Each structure stands twice: as structure tokens, then as C-alpha cells.
């Protein structure tokens, strides 16, 4: 019987390197894929090193144009609109999994794989595949994968999902991967110095950003900002407002080019409205509402919530939190869980102070 084949996305970091090793150990005929995105780093050299170490083919595709159009422009335009983008989620759907899937279909390979810390459960023909948290709660990346559907999940393997980060590091040391045991993949790969503001200013020329007022919840001017891209929801430091009690950013109003601030108690929201809702399972809810645990950003602990469909808008929902939550940021993803399973998610359009 022929061995099953798999194409793994190799980024040059420890997670994808060890994931490739696990697949080989499990008996898969393994090949690698490196995606060029137009932002050269040492990652390509290190991806080649992984492939050489394991003696597997490494294919390369140049997606500079697609990455610029689908990820970088989205990233900059979201900041220009006063929202907080999440490029990793969009990249997973529009770049990584989209092109890995195309490549396995073109090359006649059975599966695709990545180094994400997540799991997939096959529940049979009628119930389909479930996306589950990785067993390492501190590294779980299922939040970033909520836009994957049944087509992707049916062809995907996550070798690292059943392991902890410590176990992955230990495996890397055992495989004599040297620096890979310490090196992490960049979270935002096209901004290696993490200076988002400078990157956006350099990308959007001429700049759409102008200085404007910082106002309190009553509209009184309390300070100035140098551009709405320079602040984020929940920010406290760097506002340069003289006050005995700290102010926090509670709203970014792009139409009026102003930033609204409040005290700590003003940061809490009773719920949110999310749009462009997607359901992972084909058994998506037909009821008018359901209960789930909602994560409003990566590393958020989640909050028990009631999710209600908006009237005549099945792709938008109102999410009511059991406990008010801080810093609900438009542009971020709201991802819904039931136990360990991601059932779906959407994009936050606004926070709601009163449920």
C-alpha cells in the first residue's frame, strides 16, 4: 500500500520544522513548501536548512503580489479606518491554506500541514470535521483558524496540536536543530521590528493621517493625537494627557478624526456586534440564538456569551457577555467556542456598552 503524502508549509521557525519531523516519523511521504511574500528575511535560508536536514523536497512559490493585495493593503486600510486588523487570520485563509490546498491538488498530494497548535476531529460524513484547541492552552492557535471550512479541514494535518511547546522544543533539541529550538516564527512576518505605525506611514503615501483631538466621553478636548493609526483600543501609555487618573482609549472615530478616551470603568462593554460570520461545522446553528464562549482577541480568556442572530441578517450577530469585557476593538475577530471546539466566528464591527 502506497504511503500517504503531505505538503507542509515550512516557515523557517521551530514549529514547522518539528512538525515536518513528526510527519516523517509517522510515515508520510513529506514535501515542503516555502511561500515568498516580498519581505525577504533569513526565513527562506532556514527553511532550506530544514529541508536539507530531513532530506525532503522544498518547493517555493512567489506570492508577493497576492500578499501585498490581500494582506498588506488590508492591514494598512484597517488602521486608516480606525479599526484594529488581524493579518494572521486573513493570511491563513487567503494565502497559506488557499495556496497549500492549490499546490496539493496540482501535485497530487494527499494532505497539507502546518505547524499550528490546533487539532482536527473527523466526526463522520454527516457531522464533518471539527476544529479543536491545541492541548497546550498557552500556545493554542485555533483562534487564528476560525475562517477555515470543511474543504480545508478535510485535507489538513496539525502535527503539533497534540503536543506542548516544551515538548516541541525538546524534540528540536533531540533532532539537533540548533537555533530552531529557540527561534519563533514572526507573528506579523512583514513587520520584523514590530513598528506598525512607521510601516503604515511608509506604505500609505501620501499619508491619510492627520493630527486630531482626543476627547473624553462628554466630548471635551483633553489632548491631541498625531494620527488615528497611532493609538489602539485599550491603550493607556503614550496619550500625553495630564490627569491624576489614567485615561484609556475607548473609541477611534475615523470620520471625525478623533480619539475618545475614558477612565478604567468606561472600558467595559456588555457585548458586541460581529459581521461576516462563518461557521466551521456544516451543522451550524439554525436556532435564533446559542450559547458559546467568545474570545474577542488572541490570548483573551474568553467569556460565556449568548449569541443572537441579527434580524434578517444571518451573517451578523449580537453577542451578549455574561460579564462585561474590556477593550472590544472593531476589526478584531470574535471567535466562538463550545468546550474545546471552534464553532465559528466573525469580525467585530462595534462594542455595545449596554446589552
Q: How far apart are CA 204 and CA 184, in angstroms?
A: 29
pLDDT in tens, the chain (355 residues): 678 999 999 998 899 999 999 999 999 999 999 999 999 888 899 999 999 999 999 999 999 999 999 999 999 999 999 999 999 999 999 999 999 999 999 999 999 999 999 999 998 777 789 999 999 999 999 999 999 999 999 999 999 999 999 999 999 988 877 655 444 545 678 887 888 889 999 999 888 999 999 999 999 999 999 999 999 999 999 999 999 999 999 999 999 999 999 999 999 999 999 999 999 976 666 677 899 999 999 999 999 999 999 877 778 999 999 999 999 999 999 999 999 999 999 999 999 987 5
Active site residues: 91, 189
The strand order across the sheet containing 212-215 reads: 221-225, 212-215, 258-262, 248-253
Rounded Cα–Cα distance for residues 315 and 79 (Å): 23
Domains in the chain with CATH codes: 5-181 (3.40.50.620), 209-262 (2.30.30.280), 268-352 (2.40.30.10)
* The model's pTM: 0.93
Task: Output the CA torsion 32→35→36→37 (10° steps).
Answer: -160
Amino acid at each position: 500500500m502506497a504511503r500517504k503524502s503531505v505538503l507542509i508549509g515550512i516557515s523557517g521557525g521551530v514549529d514547522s520544522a518539528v512538525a515536518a519531523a513528526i510527519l516523517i516519523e509517522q510515515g508520510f511521504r513529506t514535501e515542503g513548501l516555502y511561500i515568498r511574500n516580498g519581505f525577504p528575511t533569513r526565513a527562506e535560508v532556514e527553511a532550506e536548512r530544514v529541508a536539507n536536514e530531513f532530506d525532503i523536497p522544498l518547493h517555493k512559490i512567489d506570492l508577493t503580489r497576492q500578499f501585498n493585495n490581500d494582506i498588506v493593503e488590508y492591514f494598512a486600510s484597517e488602521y486608516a479606518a480606525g479599526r484594529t486588523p488581524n493579518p494572521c487570520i486573513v493570511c491563513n485563509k487567503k494565502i497559506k491554506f488557499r495556496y497549500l490546498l492549490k499546490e496539493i491538488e496540482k501535485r497530487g498530494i494527499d494532505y497539507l500541514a502546518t505547524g499550528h497548535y490546533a487539532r482536527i476531529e473527523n466526526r463522520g460524513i454527516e457531522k464533518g470535521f471539527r476544529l479543536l484547541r491545541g492541548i497546550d492552552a498557552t500556545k493554542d492557535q485555533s483562534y487564528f483558524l476560525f475562517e477555515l471550512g470543511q474543504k480545508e479541514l478535510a485535507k489538513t494535518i496539525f502535527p503539533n496540536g497534540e503536543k506542548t511547546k516544551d515538548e516541541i522544543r525538546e524534540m528540536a533539541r533531540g533532532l539537533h536543530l540548533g537555533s530552531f529550538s529557540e527561534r519563533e516564527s514572526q507573528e506579523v512576518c512583514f513587520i520584523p521590528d514590530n513598528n506598525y505605525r512607521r510601516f503604515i506611514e511608509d506604505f500609505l503615501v501620501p499619508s491619510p493621517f492627520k493630527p486630531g483631538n482626543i476627547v473624553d466621553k462628554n466630548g471635551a478636548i483633553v489632548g491631541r493625537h498625531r494620527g488615528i493609526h497611532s493609538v489602539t483600543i485599550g491603550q493607556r501609555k503614550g496619550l500625553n494627557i495630564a490627569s491624576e487618573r489614567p485615561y484609556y482609549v475607548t473609541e477611534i472615530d475615523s470620520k471625525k478624526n478623533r480619539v475618545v478616551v475614558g477612565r478604567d470603568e468606561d472600558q467595559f462593554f456588555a457585548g458586541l456586534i460581529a459581521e461576516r460570520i462563518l461557521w466551521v461545522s456544516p451543522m451550524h446553528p439554525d436556532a435564533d440564538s446559542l450559547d458559546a464562549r467568545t474570545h474577542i482577541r488572541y490570548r483573551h480568556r474568553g467569556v460565556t456569551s449568548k449569541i443572537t442572530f441579527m434580524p434578517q441578517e444571518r451573517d451578523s450577530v449580537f453577542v451578549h457577555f455574561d460579564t462585561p469585557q474590556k477593550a472590544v476593538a472593531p476589526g478584531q475577530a470574535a471567535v466562538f467556542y463550545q468546550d474545546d471546539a471552534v464553532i465559528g466566528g466573525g469580525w467585530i464591527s462595534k462594542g455595545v456598552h449596554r446589552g
